Structure 1
Amino acid sequence: MLEKLEFLVDKYQDLNSKISDPEIISNTQEWQKYVKEHAEIEPIVVKYREYKEVVEQLEEAKEMLQDKLEDDFKEMVKLEVNELTQKSEELTEELKMLLVPKDPNDDKNVIVEIRAGAGGDEAGIFAGDLFRMYSRFTEKQRWKIDIMSCNNQGVGGFKEVIFMVKGKGAYSKLKYESGVHRVQRVPATESGGRIHTSTATVAVLPEADDIDIDINMNDVRVDVYRSSGNGGQSVNTTDSAVRLTHEPTGIVVACQDEKSQLKNKDKAFKILKARLYDKKLAEQNAEIAQARKSQVGSGDRSAKIRTYNFPQGRITDHRINMTVYKLDAFLDGDIHEMIDALITTDQAERLQEIES
């Protein structure tokens, strides 16, 4: 740990020089990158310097105990040794927590994609329930929500809904929601009272900055067409809908919710950037995920992460084996307890990796 801290001190000093270099300052993107890195390292360096000062004082106090001292003074030095020992232990724990790798995307806005899975109409209704749950949670956090694209189904709910959540730390809390959500309940259309199981998938993508993803426009095919959804005047009479096809990856994004072709194009590009950035992150994290025992923070979207059981009024998160019995409140956006438990588990696993 000390070697890593010394390395960070050297890196911090190097970054100090870089962000003061006129040549680097003239390159805004490069300068912003170094400033961000400098700000992330600074709290660790400040805490480490405090730790080194306490350790130095502790060594001096221990050396004094080796000398012949008057009883009263010796007791005072012993007391100081105890206090400094406790302080150094506290600082060691604080440094360990600071060294836990911080997800660089944690402070970003997110794009959330909810899609109905297995279960027909009931799956679409459940997708609508999840959208409402995240909308209420967003309100409680005082974040903002912006619907990017939606595909309604006739009986209520969604075949697919994509929306952006804007707010500091949105990704840090919502990233654990990626995966398959399962619901067990008796559908309103079921006359025999049988319990049905349906699913919906959730993908949480950090919003990609221009620094993160640079799209070559030659790789993107842009098609415009008439919107097929319900809307106001002109929605179905002008070519306002936009479909983007990223040819190297085959990723397709379509937006038709806005009357303006320009607005639809802007939203589609935001979704495309987020999906390309997520693909890049998934590739980078594949090796890390193999080394980790748990999938809590890996965003594995093929895994069943949670079950919402209506007859028993419970929600179970299968990654951390946690069950809470407050289904109505949970679906009304009261998901803090579950998210906090997932964050705590993830941090504990990362801390264990540092100590091992």
Structure 2
Amino acid sequence: MNALYPMTPTYHLSLWQKRQAAMLYYYSSQSYLDALLPKIEELIVMAEMLLERRSILDPLMVSERWGVRDTAANWSTGGFPALIEYRENTMWDMAKRADQCYGITGTNQCAHMLGEFSMQWATAEQEKEFRERANAVFSYGYKIDGVMERDWSDMTFWSIWQQIKGQFPRLPKFKVHMDIEGKTGEVPPRTGVYVSQDDPLGALQFAWTGGGEGMWKTLEECQTFNELGLDVLKTLGRAGLWGDEDGFSKFIAQNQYKGVFTDPIFSARYQVQSDSFTYRPCKWYFVELLEGEFEDSDPDAMADAPGSEPQHPPRKASGEPCPHAGWWFSPAREGSRQYFRDGAIFPKLEGDYGYTFWLWSPDQSRPALS
């Protein structure tokens, strides 16, 4: 039957990969970028109102030593233009999306410029309110930049997910196109999200076809777990990874991992999280977002439940197709562990009588590079 009806190769995304894909498509969307513009315009209006109110008092704030450094006039000629440029850059970004042209926003530049100019011309309450509003806008814009710069690790994705998971009561559905391949260092064939072909722990990326400002015009190296990260994963488990404070404390104590800051527990945890990743070139599959289609289950009711155990695929005999992409091994031969794609036919090992049985490997990490 398998010979008459061969299985079409497929790639099943894990729960964590689906979440990453959902976040990447969300923050790279036209609608998310479009919503940045009114936020910037509201900030500009707020700045204009503050400057107008302070214009009368401005002459009284001129210092013989510092001149007009702390005046509203100085902020108006130095800080305010940064907001105007931020708005113009965002409008340009919105227009270029039609040409599949993506890139980072002017968020970091505007935040840096506003930080250079004093707001002592405003009251403490006015400055606090303005800076809180500005930081909220910058936090919004930084999400776009993080996607475009491909600097989000598995831990970063997890942290952001804790903040926004209420927006995804149902995860979108995705389709992995194994016939649409990308490669590190090359422009992708289609704009969208990409998943590593052979690394189930590698962070997904968003890439585009139309060029753009900056250096991120190609698929970058895959950010994945290094030896330390794999050790943390093995100890804490996938469901407890990054969020299990007690588990992290025990891991740090058992491994005598020392940080470089004052607080021994916090610094060690921070250091472990920062040191758990590496980069490697790879080939990628295109992940399509199926518009208007969603998963049936609440994602938080799935594998995130504490103590839940993943359901592994059943053992398969040689000659049968692989039911789930991942690492498999056969008891028939030591060192037989290898990666199989969905639909790949399990081989019969030489010297084995009858069928060779293949089992899902409990270790789903790639082998260390020699």
Higher strand proportion: 1
TMscore range, shorter length: under 0.3
Taking structure 1 as the reference length, the TM-score comes to: 0.25
Higher helix proportion: 1
Higher relative contact order (CA 8 A, sep 6+): 2
